[in-house]
Amino acid sequence: VSPVLRNVGTLATCRDAGGQGEVHPVRDAALAWRDGRVAWAGPEAELPSEWADAPSLDAGGRTVVPGLVDCHTHLAFGGWRAGEFVRRIRGESYGEIARSGGGIAATVRATRAAGDDELRELCRGRLREMASLGVTTVEGKSGYGLSREEELRILRVYRDVAGAALPRLVPTFLGAHALPPDFGGDREELVAEVAGEWTPAVAEAGLARFCDAFVEEGAFTPEEGRRVLEAGAAHGLTPRLHADQLSDSGGAELAVEVGAASADHLEHVSAAGIRALADAGVVGVVLPLAGLYLGQDPAPARAMVEAGVRVAVATDFNPGTAPSAHLPLAMTLACVREGLTPAEALKGATLHAATALRLEGEVGSLEPGKSADFALVDAPDVDHWLYHHRANACLATVGRGRLLYRSPGLAGAEGWEALAAPEPGAPAAGGSP
Ligand SMILES: [Zn+2]
């Protein structure tokens, strides 16, 4: 099937040129794709004649954006922590809760208790929910196993849930997340184990593309983070890190020093840290849902954009500080709390998020040759979409040319269903005898 989507009111292509706020919208547009890749995008009046008889879908004058990229999630976890949510409302701090056995340690216990099947089903369900919101690429971190075997198990779960009917999943090894509850030694010994034993095992199994560390007071020092990330880099895992979330610990500068793809959080990044990110071309990832749940001052996304940093927007989806996978809500919060325009937030959740995952050649914009990943949004344009927050404005999501989600209310259901991936075991379309 090589269909064409017509009658697109606004097609936000999000190609690279022109800075964060330039999403290159095309009015009255069409989008064609073939074999899972974008073949043509532009004004419908200029659609080449080869598409004249192609099966067509009607966008109804609505908005089409590149498939959203959630470049920072802790997707695989067991259990939830609603009790801590209430304790924080009543005045306990994140640190106090962690010291009483809650926080990351609580999720480590629940995740270890969950079987492989259970974790896989949890991940699939969460990915389906994300797809329904327009998301086609998701980064997933380990970090709730916190032993060599349990970290490998989580990364194997990520490998096993990948499939044509779900968003693309990019795995990150986050061994340096917290001191495990049952670890016999001190932090120094853990860092040596993560760098010297867990990291080589993950790399050898080919289970992660990135490595990550939680550099923060109460977690790991910049020096410890550096050891872990340099070990990852030496084994072919590109660094990224949790930086400057609760205090300025020089995380942004560390990201630059270790050649990280991104520095994430940055609520407390210094002016020098912002300059360092801009000069080095390291993506700054803001996570406004976490800031909202923690009641923090917002990250200086506006200042980062002005300084020339590519700013990505992601959810930080996790059961403690960001128990929501709603990327469009995070984008609206990046506008309301952090001073981005809707266009800037969109480029941050598409092309710049793809760059944070080193996938900018494959996803994040609608240009010929890139993966046919897009979302049809029930809004006349991008400004209106992120201004009028709704439970879900997404009508359809397509990843690699396949239907990942369709709203029950979407007209022309048959045409959209023709894009669905065949059920596993079903004969291929046009099948053999
Ligand atoms: Zn995180």
Residue 264 sits at φ, ψ, to 5 deg, of -115, 145
- Return the CA Rg of the chain: 21
Q: 3-class SS at 110? A: helix
Cα 186 to averaged position of ligand 1 atoms, centre (Å): 23
Model confidence band, residue 217 (pLDDT cutoffs 50, 70, 90) = confident
SS3 content of the chain, % helix, strand, coil (to 5): 35, 20, 40
Model confidence band, residue 310 (pLDDT cutoffs 50, 70, 90) = very high
Q: What's the pTM?
A: 0.96
Q: Is the pLDDT of residue 433 over 60?
A: no
Q: 3-class SS at 210? A: strand
Cα 284 to averaged position of ligand 1 atoms, centre (Å): 13
For residue 219, give Cα distances in angstroms to 172, 176, 231, 250, 422.
18, 8, 18, 14, 45
Amino acid identity, position 90: R
Cα 287 to averaged position of ligand 1 atoms, centre (Å): 8
Cα 241 to averaged position of ligand 1 atoms, centre (Å): 9
**Which whole number is the average pLDDT over 59-84?**
97
Model confidence band, residue 99 (pLDDT cutoffs 50, 70, 90) = confident
Per residue in 269-306, pLDDT (tens digit) is 999 999 999 999 999 999 999 999 999 999 999 999 99
**Which whole number is the average pLDDT over 53-82?**
97
Nearest of 266, 271, 218, 220 to residue 244 by alpha carbon? 266
Cα 105 to averaged position of ligand 1 atoms, centre (Å): 15
Chain-centroid distance of CA 210 in Å reads: 13
> CA 321, CA 315: separation in Å to the nearest integer?
10
Cα 300 to averaged position of ligand 1 atoms, centre (Å): 18
Cα 73 to averaged position of ligand 1 atoms, centre (Å): 6
> CA 131, CA 125: separation in Å to the nearest integer?
10
Rounded to 5°, angle at Cα 237 from 233 and 241 = 80
Per residue in 201-218, is it b (16+ CB within 10 Å) or e — as a string? bbbeeebbbbbbbbbbee
Highest mean pLDDT range out of 54-58, 156-160, 242-246?
156-160
Model confidence band, residue 205 (pLDDT cutoffs 50, 70, 90) = very high
Cα 45 to averaged position of ligand 1 atoms, centre (Å): 44
Lowest mean pLDDT among 327-341, 360-374, 402-416: 402-416
In this predicted structure, what is the pLDDT of residue 423? 63
> CA 135, CA 405: separation in Å to the nearest integer?
10
Cα 246 to averaged position of ligand 1 atoms, centre (Å): 12
Instruction: Dihedral sign for Cα 76, 79, 83, 86, please.
Output: positive
Q: DSSP for 351-366?
A: HHHHHHTT-TTTSSS-
Residue 137 sits at φ, ψ, to 5 deg, of -140, 135
Cα 72 to averaged position of ligand 1 atoms, centre (Å): 6
Model confidence band, residue 413 (pLDDT cutoffs 50, 70, 90) = confident
Cα 75 to averaged position of ligand 1 atoms, centre (Å): 10
Q: Is the pLDDT of residue 428 over 50?
A: no
Model confidence band, residue 163 (pLDDT cutoffs 50, 70, 90) = confident
Answer whether 197's CB lies under 8 Å from 183's CB.
no
Amino acid identity, position 337: R
Cα 23 to averaged position of ligand 1 atoms, centre (Å): 27
What is the total residue count of the chain? 433
The DSSP bridge partners found for residue 141 are: 172
Cα 213 to averaged position of ligand 1 atoms, centre (Å): 9
Cα 50 to averaged position of ligand 1 atoms, centre (Å): 46
Model confidence band, residue 397 (pLDDT cutoffs 50, 70, 90) = very high
Q: Is the pLDDT of residue 432 over 60?
A: no
Alpha helices per DSSP H over 219-365: 222-234, 251-257, 271-280, 288-294, 301-306, 327-336, 342-348, 351-356
Cα 242 to averaged position of ligand 1 atoms, centre (Å): 6
Q: Is the pLDDT of residue 427 over 60?
A: no
Strands 4-12 and 25-34: antiparallel
Residue 210 sits at φ, ψ, to 5 deg, of -125, 160
